[in-house]
Amino acid sequence: MTPISAKDSTVAPAFDEVGLHYDRLTGMSPGYAAQLRSSARVLTGMLARRPAPGEEPLQIADLGCGSGASTSALLAALRETGSPFRVEGVDGSAGMLEAARAKEWPDSVSFTHAQAEDLPDAGTRYDAVFAAYLLRNVPDRDAFLHHVWRSLRPGGVLVVHDYGVAGRPLDVAAWTALSWGIIIPSAAIVTRKRPNLFTYLWRSVLEFDSDEQLQERLTRAGFTDVGLRPVPGWQSGMVRTLWGRRP
Ligand SMILES: C[S@@+](CC[C@H](N)C(=O)[O-])C[C@H]1O[C@@H](n2cnc3c(N)ncnc32)[C@H](O)[C@@H]1O
């Protein structure tokens, strides 16, 4: 069996078989939805444009939208702004999108099946891009970030929400204990499959950028106002919110 690796784009197809179980799995993680909402609020707090009703809607992309948990978080945060908006969820896994599309969404939400790094470079169309648990999985992170930068309007923002423990031995130990003690066994029971995707999750988080490396990556891709903070709650040392703006 081919090992799952971000380097050869095998991550999104590997999600196909867990799509219908994904919400049950994340439902077992206390705070998963609340942490996504807190990152979505970082995004809405940074919007450069605040259209009034009747004006041109905000265009927001949710890259790696999966079964729609991050899309729901965006919807909740965007509704709080009072501005009109459109959200485009994009995911490389047909199985995850099937789970997303099975839910009820307003007309302002649409879904597209595509690898995030292969999106056509239509240029300066998004006011904001949200990428929750995606960046770790794309084959060439620098190229991807620059691609996102090009797809933003001037003033547009990127918010990344993802795991990261590099450089903090206590958080590395906590992540390994959580992965092997809870996530991997629970996923094997719920999905009744070999837990390859979840051993990949453990490994990929250990190998992912430190906070400093992530911020440097955004700066290298051309983003300004770059910042990072841990999410609130018990996963504070493991999940972080990162942001940057296209000047
Ligand atoms: C852990 S899930 C997160 C889903 C959602 N954002 C959330 O917060 O619940 C990661 C998603 O990213 C998708 N994905 C991984 N690599 C991708 C890529 N290169 N392009 C598009 N989607 C990708 C997977 O198919 C999966 O649905």
Supply the residue whose CA is at minimum distance from atom 25 of ligand 1.
Answer: 12
Ligand 1 close to Cβ of residue 144 (< 6 A): no
Q: Does any ligand 1 atom lie closer than 6 A to the CB of residue 163?
A: no
Quick one: how far is CA 237 from the chain centroid? 17
What is the mean pLDDT of the segment spanning 205-209?
97
Specify which residues 58 forms β-bridges with.
85
Query: How many whole angstroms from 89 Cα to the centroid of ligand 1?
Result: 10
- Per the CB < 8 A criterion, the answer to whether 87 and 74 are in contact is yes
pLDDT(125) > 60: yes
Rounded to the nearest angstrom, the distance between the alpha carbon of 160 and the centre of ligand 1 is: 12
Residue 122 pLDDT > 70:
no
Token digits for 226? 């770059």
69 touches ligand 1 (CB under 6 Å)? yes
1, pLDDT greater than 60: no
Distance CA 222, CA 203 (A): 29
Q: Which one is predicted more confidently, 12 or 101?
A: 101
Least confident span in 6-10, 31-35, 160-164, 181-185? 6-10
Instruction: Decide: 93 in ligand 1 pocket, CB within 6 A.
Output: yes
* Amino acid letter, residue 150: R
Digit-coded pLDDT (tens) for 62-88:
999 999 999 999 999 999 999 999 999
Q: Which ligand 1 atom is the nearest neighbour of the CA of 64?
A: 12
Q: Give the other-Cβ count within 10 Å of 241's Cβ.
A: 23
CB atoms within 10 A of CB 79: 13
Q: Which CATH number does the domain 6-245 belong to among 3.40.50.150, 2.40.37.10, 3.30.420.40, 3.20.20.80? A: 3.40.50.150
- 54 CA distance to ligand 1 centroid (A)? 32
Find residue 113's DSSP bridge partners: 91
> Considering the chain, what percentage of its residues have pLDDT values greater than 70?
97
The yes-or-no verdict on residue 14 having pLDDT over 90 is no
